[in-house]
Amino acid sequence: DAGVIQSPRHEVTEMGQEVTLRCKPISGHDYLFWYRQTMMRGLELLIYFNNNVPIDDSGMPEDRFSAKMPNASFSTLKIQPSEPRDSAVYFCATKRGGGGYTFGSGTRLTVV
Amino acid sequence: GQQVMQIPQYQHVQEGEDFTTYCNSSTTLSNIQWYKQRPGGHPVFLIQLVKSGEVKKQKRLTFQFGEAKKNSSLHITATQTTDVGTYFCAGPYYGGSQGNLIFGKGTKLSVKP
């Protein structure tokens, strides 16, 4: 089991550019979560899916953020246009049923 | 809104000393989970507690869930340098057993050899 796979590991982009973060969940996990982690705010839930369907996107900060899960094997988080305040580590996490989360290694995003 | 609070925010100990972090929820929780994040790493699931007053041990780590299911603690006996990291507690939103978790801000542990 390769775990939750996120790409890229690091992303540096200029303000105004589009950024796409990718996540491949563990096979058989029916929940997928996108979190953002910063020193100031800790771990913040952005959005989560159950069986590929978005359940709660109330944590998505603005319309600049969007997430999709077209199938059980893939999810994306897109920021368009990006801003310096979006700089953070973005984690994808998955779980099966009521169990604990398995986090990916994260994407460290820097917007300059 | 619902909150999960952890204290202390930071803890510096000498290797061999004990360490405890406390977690308090503003609402009753159906379960509580604990995670560890090493510096530069990602959170890793440690354990889930479900029953009121439950105590579970993992080697030198002891986890406890309060009787009222609103608080929890993690105690590490005789810390080692491998224990360095941030420890998070997390509980389901509004007492739910499925779906998303709300995480505390974590306790960052440093261990001086």
Residue A65 C-alpha, separation from nearest chain B C-alpha, in angstroms: 19
3-state DSSP call for residue B113?
Answer: coil
| Contacts of B14 by beta carbon, 8 Å cutoff, 6+ apart | B111, B112
Does residue B91 sit at the A interface (CB-CB below 8 Å)? no
The Cβ-side half-sphere exposure at A18, using a 13 Å CA radius, reads 6
CA angle A102, A78, A26 (to 5 degrees): 25
Residue B98: per-residue pLDDT: 56
- A38 backbone dihedrals φ, ψ, rounded to 5°: -135, 160
Split at pLDDT 50, 70, 90, the class of A72 is very high
Residue A98: per-residue pLDDT: 78
The per-residue pLDDT for range B5-35, each reduced to its tens digit, is 999 999 999 999 999 999 999 999 999 999 9
Split at pLDDT 50, 70, 90, the class of B100 is confident
In Å, how far are A84, B58, B83, B91 from B48, measured between CA atoms?
A: 36, 12, 19, 10
Give the single-character DSSP code of B68.
T
* Cβ contact, residue pair A42, B98, below 8 Å: no
- Residue to mutate among A103, A105, A107, with most B CBs inside 10 A, is A103
Mean pLDDT of A80-99: 94
3-state SS record for chain A: CCCCEEECCEEEECCCCCEEEEEECCCCCCEEEEEEEECCCEEEEEEEEECCEEEECCCCCCCCEEEEEEECCEEEEEECCCCHHHCEEEEEEEECCCCCCEECCCEEEEEC
Closest Cα partner for B99 from A44, A77, A34, A49? A49
Closest Cα partner for B106 from B23, B17, B15? B23
Contact call for residues B35 and B91 (beta carbons, < 8 A): no
